[in-house]
Amino acid sequence: MIREAERDGALQPGDTIVEGTAGNTGIGIAHVCNARGYDCVIFMPDNQSREKVEILETLGAEVRVVPTVPYSNDMNYQKQADRYARARDGALWVNQFDNTANRRAHYESTGPEIWRQTDGAIDAFVCAVGTGGTIAGVSQYLKQQRDNIEIMLLDCVGSALFNYVTTGVATLSEGSSITEGIGNARITDNLAGAAIDGALQISDQDMIDTVYRLLREEGWFLGSSTGVNVYGAIEVARRLGPGHTVVTVLCDGGGKYRSRLYNRQWLEDKGFRVA
């Protein structure tokens, strides 16, 4: 997204990059800003882990934590980032949700990487969705290689994406989720038109069980969106049966969730169990 803005002339040396993010894309943007000489301002909703804020500040970003409100509200963190960038000379709002350079990056890189690493022997790709860039770009590439590769969207409760795929209408499901950075109440420009074959809705308890199993049995310290991805991959693999190759993405480490997902008391206070 930043390379494209540079090629188009939307970014000039010494400019400021602004983004509204749940944290992870913002962390990537902060790294790029350091490498390429841009200032970085991040707007983040206040329902994210404090570790993400601390990492961003360590990387030199200015972090503005704002109240969590729906996208339809003018005070939504994405809309605040947009307004801030528009009001400031030499500032660019990245707009990761609707900037389709996001999707193209996965079409040009992640999809081909998966195809190469599996030698084309892939039966299904499963992925949780935030902006939609990963699943849309990867599915576009994989479907061009072989149309019968199954693309499965994974969603958390309280999001509209499961209903969108299964019914065609983006209505919010009941409940709320402790997962961070996935789920959405709307169809982003990145996700619109993506070649998706089906969807699974993953409960927070199944996600929690998965990340703790991975930690204790595999030695993998991973975040909540990765727990959703691995659980969904296991479910699809069970349905397809032995001899099939199911691919997902381990997209987030666990270090940013020590105060929440890996805090037993916090989980128990929320009504979850940790085996």
Domain boundary among 93, 117, 149: 93
Cβ distance 6 to 16 under 8 Å?
A: no
DSSP bridge pairs for 62: 41
Predicted model pTM: 0.94
Asked if residue 72 and residue 124 are part of one domain, the reply reads: no
Asked if residue 171 and residue 80 are part of one domain, the reply reads: no
Q: In CATH, what number is assigned to the domain containing residue 69?
A: 3.40.50.1100
In a domain, residue 203? The reply is yes
In a domain, residue 235? The reply is yes
Cβ distance 168 to 141 under 8 Å?
A: no
Asked if residue 80 and residue 127 are part of one domain, the reply reads: no
pLDDT tens sequence across 138-173: 999 999 999 999 999 999 999 999 999 999 999 999
In a domain, residue 194? The reply is yes
Asked if residue 13 and residue 65 are part of one domain, the reply reads: yes
pLDDT tens sequence across 26-53: 999 999 999 999 999 999 999 999 999 9
Asked if residue 26 and residue 116 are part of one domain, the reply reads: no
Domain boundary among 68, 93, 118: 93
Asked if residue 264 and residue 179 are part of one domain, the reply reads: yes
pLDDT tens sequence across 94-128: 999 999 999 999 999 999 999 999 999 999 999 99
Q: Which residues contact 226 (CB under 8 A, 6 or more apart)?
A: 211, 249, 250, 251, 252
Range of the domain at 156: 101-269
Residue 14 pLDDT > 90: yes
The number of distinct structural domains making up the chain is 2
In a domain, residue 275? The reply is no
Spatial CA neighbour of 201 closest among 169, 163, 236: 163
In a domain, residue 274? The reply is no
Asked if residue 204 and residue 109 are part of one domain, the reply reads: yes
